[in-house]
Amino acid sequence: MSEQETHGYKVGEPIKDTKAPEGPIEGRWDKRRFSAKLVNPANKRKINVIVVGTGLAGGSAAATLGELGYKVKSFCYQDSPRRAHSIAAQGGINAAKNYRGDGDSIYRLFYDTVKGGDFRARESNVYRLAQVSVNIIDQAVAQGVPFAREYGGLLDTRSFGGAQVSRTFYARGQTGQQLLLGAYSALERQIAAGTVEMHTRHEMLDVVVSDGRARGVIVRDMVTGEIETHLADAVVLATGGYGNVFFLSTNAKGCNTTAIWRAHQRGAMFANPCYTQIHPTCIPVSGDYQSKLTLMSESLRNDGRVWVPLAKGDARKPADIPEDERDYYLERIYPAFGNLVPRDIASRAAKNVCDEGRGVGPGGLGVYLDFADAITRLGRDAVEKKYGNLFEMYERITGENPYEAPMRIYPAVHYTMGGLWVDYDLQSTIPGLFVIGEANFSDHGANRLGASALMQGLADGYFVLPTTIGDYLAGATAFDEVDEEAVTQAREAVQQKIDKLLSVNGTRTADSYHRELGKLMWDYCGMERTEESLRKALERIPELREEFWNNVKVPGDPEGLNQALERAGRVADFFDLAELMCIDALHRTESCGGHFRAESQDQDGEALRDDDNFAYVAAWEWGEDGPTLHKEVLDYEYVKMTQRSYK
Amino acid sequence: MGMNLTLKVWRQNGSSDEGRMVTYKVEDVSPDMSFLEMLDVLNERLILEGDDPVAFDHDCREGICGMCGMVINGVAHGEQRATTTCQLHMRHFEDGAEITIEPWRAAPFPVVKDLVVDRSAFDRIIQAGGFISVPAGSAPDAHSVPVKKDDADAAFDAATCIGCGACVAACPNGSASLFTAAKITHLGLLPQGQPERDSRAKAMVEQMDMEGFGGCTNTGECTAVCPKGIPLDTIARMNADYLKASK
């Protein structure tokens, strides 16, 4: 049988050009900045750019494009651009400042990120990210972001998973909030200046592609229900990740795939959809009404020690279990990194000990994260200063006091490394459609290191996109008028989908389907995947989708605020994405980073890559009769491909 | 066995509708549920019964985005201190309790539907001056200006405001002073915020008045309900900055 028959996809032409400049890696970004065409300031005022999403990437991009003088329209589904889920990032932001003099450098951050991504990221992009990281800290401090400081008045840093240097800048446990409010303040400044027109409570439902270029978006005004068309010379998607395909994740409830999925259906390739990150330190599920999972920053692993009882089914209270009957399994298995091993390794190790029957808490789906030693060593006050708000959050949710008893934690879906394929300029395969932040696939390979999401979002938004989009927009004055037919067709597609959802009038809610889909994805395409589980998922997803479209019940009208309708539309797109994720996971028979195929592991149970066959980005092209795979081969000129070892 | 509760929920179909309290029974509520999960359960049932589910704002459900907010038994975000509605758990309620649920009520926050209100006035207050003017790429090295740790910590405390609007909902005057003061304090405590300190205070206070928020009479209800515990003395600082700027 052909590959298509066994896996449900075709193989197309490889992707040859990523537009990354050649030459020594240190000089590539400089080279690109110099070769990028500039836009005449007088013309910028006539050029329209749409930015969808107002998280770190979208907020900083819209603000910066406004500062540069473009006419910007910004959209978000929340009631204010200050609320996107970047705000919930707790731990910090990496930057190669080497303020500690502990041996950090741009090259080391680059190296750590490529290695941490399990050799599935593009070297040129990652090097640029490390270079730009230092500018982000400067920018944020100048904006008034109140990073933690030492008594001398200089910035404090801490170490984070996957790194042996102290390069993570933080603002107590609310770094994402402070950085987002910085970007938000810059954005509001541009709104006041009239360069950015803000549209809150608007959800993007399609891209307008005219003459092969992205020229606008179709959005729904979530208050009136009106379907609107907004045209522009380029469109930037900064709409975040798709972790909510699992229903339960640490994402905000509104996070969804609709914007990137519709762009995918319009011709933007989707890269590495199966690369999902499971975060090791989340609060375990408490019941079947659970609506989301809450992450506890992995910075907790700096001082907390992870353990489970040595014996299976040990039901004693943690305090009653003596030291020699505890298994500090991360310290035992990975003596060099101990509790600071990368996320995927820590998550899988937790799953393994729970599978062995040594898990703690309800259902045995939890491990302890214990601060007793840290409290003895540093004192309760010092621990409270560092982690106070996280401890409070834990107590609020569980009703248990982590100063007295160890926290219980369990892995949860947290971040998606996959996303729309972009070239070095962050442009998708639709000319004029740029994708930034978590919505693209570019910098984290198969696994993202802690404190690198904030870095990438802001690198893309403040520094990379504003440069590269200029090269594209320099030709904008010669663009043709937008084809009216393309607009009509996109609007009709949006309207039809809404009408259809409202007309089914079945017997189950969209949420109940979403829960079922999420459970299926967690069981079959979650922390551990097998050919068998993925084939099961690929059998079940189309059946469930079919049932959804014939039996979902969406109340109300297309007009006015209708939150059930919003949710149903997002669930519909999650079904399609889930299928592509499973196809991608099935085709990638190796394990790498966050993608663990049980068939591909070494004798210690670690992920085993297959570099001969899979050192490529899997970029999927959408098609009515199934996807087509385009491979972008990854070359490692600088970091030698090795099996990751944190032992 | 879970708890059985009686909810009295404000239902209002748009700003021109008069609005009314509607009673719903919810049964078998787990004490480990969050308040919003309890409402999810109600809404799932309403949808299947062919009723209109209760509209409410929410997003992160971990107490940081500031999107959720309702007046629960007369208190913004409920009686649990320093807690957003999404972080409020049902273990704090008694079995058989009657719970009233209303939207933020303030003229500058018109009701969109049920418990959803329009808080865009807050964004306009920030637009008036809640920023430091520093275009991307123009910043000096982060260590070029040391900041006293105490100042940085105090600035952070003020900067933790999540913009939820509980302060306005709790204030008998419908004042947005705590929100506005938090931003003025955050930026005013940092060396980077000094060049625009006067103009910022003046513009933001004036915008706050223009939006129709009431004045502050030091009642302190705002800080009592603030999920992030923004202290009342930020308002004193705002007033001092405003006075100095107005001279």
What ipTM was reported for this prediction? 0.98
Q: What is the pLDDT of residue A88?
A: 95
Tokens at A377, concatenated = 């060593």
Mean pLDDT of B6-21: 96
- The highest-level CATH class for domain B119-133+145-246 is mainly alpha
Q: What is the pLDDT of residue A162?
A: 63
3-state secondary structure labels for all residues of A38-71? CCCHHHHCCCEEEEECCCHHHHHHHHHHHHHCCE
- Which residue carries 């795979």 as its tokens? A629
Say yes or no for a CB contact (<8 Å) between A142 and B138: yes
A559: contact with B, CB 8 A cutoff:
no
A194: contact with B, CB 8 A cutoff:
no
Tokens at A334, concatenated = 């990975």
Which distant-in-sequence residues (6+ apart) come within 8 Å of A626 by Cβ? A4, A8, A9, A10
pLDDT digits (tens, 9 = 90+) for A313-329: 999 999 999 999 999 99
Q: Least CB-CB distance to A509: which of B44, B55, B143?
A: B44
Residues in chain B: 247
Q: 3-state class of B104 per DSSP?
A: coil
Residue A205: pLDDT over 60: yes
CA B58 from centre of chain: 12
Q: What is the pLDDT of residue A138?
A: 98
pLDDT digits (tens, 9 = 90+) for A547-564: 999 999 999 999 999 999
Q: What is the pLDDT of residue A54?
A: 98
Q: Which of A179-188, A270-279, A305-314, A344-353 has the lowest mean pLDDT?
A: A344-353
A29: contact with B, CB 8 A cutoff:
no
Averaged pLDDT score across all residues of chain A: 95
* Half-sphere exposure in the Cβ direction for B171 (13 Å, CA): 25
pLDDT above 70 coverage of chain A, percent: 98
Diameter of chain A measured on Cα atoms: 75
A278: nearest Cα among A220, A205, A354: A354
Domains of chain A: 30-272+417-478 (3.50.50.60), 279-414 (3.90.700.10), 484-629 (1.20.58.100)
Mean pLDDT of B98-116: 98
Mean pLDDT of A431-444: 97
Instruction: Report the alpha-carbon distance of residue A510 to residue A533 in Å, rounded.
Output: 24
Same fold, B3-106 and B119-133+145-246: no
Residues of B in contact with A570 (CB under 8 A): none
Instruction: Report the alpha-carbon distance of residue A594 to residue A368 in Å, rounded.
Output: 22
Q: 3-state class of B218 per DSSP?
A: coil
Mean pLDDT of A587-592: 97
Instruction: Report the alpha-carbon distance of residue B166 to residue B215 in Å, rounded.
Output: 16
Closest Cα in chain A, distance from residue B43 (Å)? 9
Instruction: Report the alpha-carbon distance of residue A135 to residue A158 in Å, rounded.
Output: 18
3-state secondary structure labels for all residues of A571-637? HHHHHHHHHHHHHHHHHCCCCECCECECCCECCCCCECCCHHHHCEEEEEECCCCCCEEEEEECCCC
Q: What is the interface size between A and B, counted as CB pairs within 8 Å?
A: 222
Mean pLDDT of A532-550: 98
What single-letter amino acid sits at A309? P
Instruction: Report the alpha-carbon distance of residue B106 to residue B113 in Å, rounded.
Output: 14
pLDDT digits (tens, 9 = 90+) for A15-24: 999 999 999 9
The residues pairing with B98 across neighbouring beta strands, listed in sequence order, are B6
A518: nearest Cα among A570, A448, A584, A440: A570
Question: H or E element: which one contains A347?
Answer: helix A343-355
Q: Please answer whether residues B22 and B11 qualify as being in contact, where contact means their C-beta atoms are separated by less than 8 angstroms.
A: yes
Q: Least CB-CB distance to B132: which of A64, A80, A143?
A: A143
- Which residue carries 């549920």 as its tokens? B33
- Which range scores top for mean pLDDT: A119-133, A162-176, A359-373? A119-133
Say yes or no for a CB contact (<8 Å) between A399 and B91: yes
Residues of A that are catalytic: 343
Q: What is the pLDDT of residue A7?
A: 67
Q: What is the pLDDT of residue B118?
A: 98
Kindly provide the b/e burial profile for residues A272-291, where b requires at least 16 CB atoms within 10 angstroms of the residue's own CB: bbbbbbbbbbbbbbbeebbb
Q: Please answer whether residues B230 and B160 qualify as being in contact, where contact means their C-beta atoms are separated by less than 8 angstroms.
A: yes
Averaged pLDDT score across all residues of chain B: 97
Q: Please answer whether residues B181 and B220 qualify as being in contact, where contact means their C-beta atoms are separated by less than 8 angstroms.
A: no
Q: 3-state class of A414 per DSSP?
A: strand
Closest Cα in chain B, distance from residue A295 (Å)? 9
Instruction: List the domain boundaries for chain B.
Output: 3-106, 119-133+145-246
pLDDT above 90 coverage of chain B, percent: 98
Strand pairing report for A234-237 and A276-282: unpaired
- The highest-level CATH class for domain B3-106 is alpha beta
DSSP state of B21: E
Distances (CA, A) of B78 to A180, B41, B245: 27, 19, 37
Tokens at A379, concatenated = 């004192």
pLDDT digits (tens, 9 = 90+) for A23-48: 999 999 999 999 999 999 999 999 99
The pLDDT confidence band at residue A213, using thresholds 50, 70 and 90, is: very high
Phi, psi (degrees; rounded to nearest 5) at B234: -60, -30
DSSP state of A641: P
The pLDDT confidence band at residue A605, using thresholds 50, 70 and 90, is: confident
Q: What is the pLDDT of residue A1?
A: 42
Q: How far apart are the first and last CA of chain A?
A: 42
Mean pLDDT of A144-167: 91
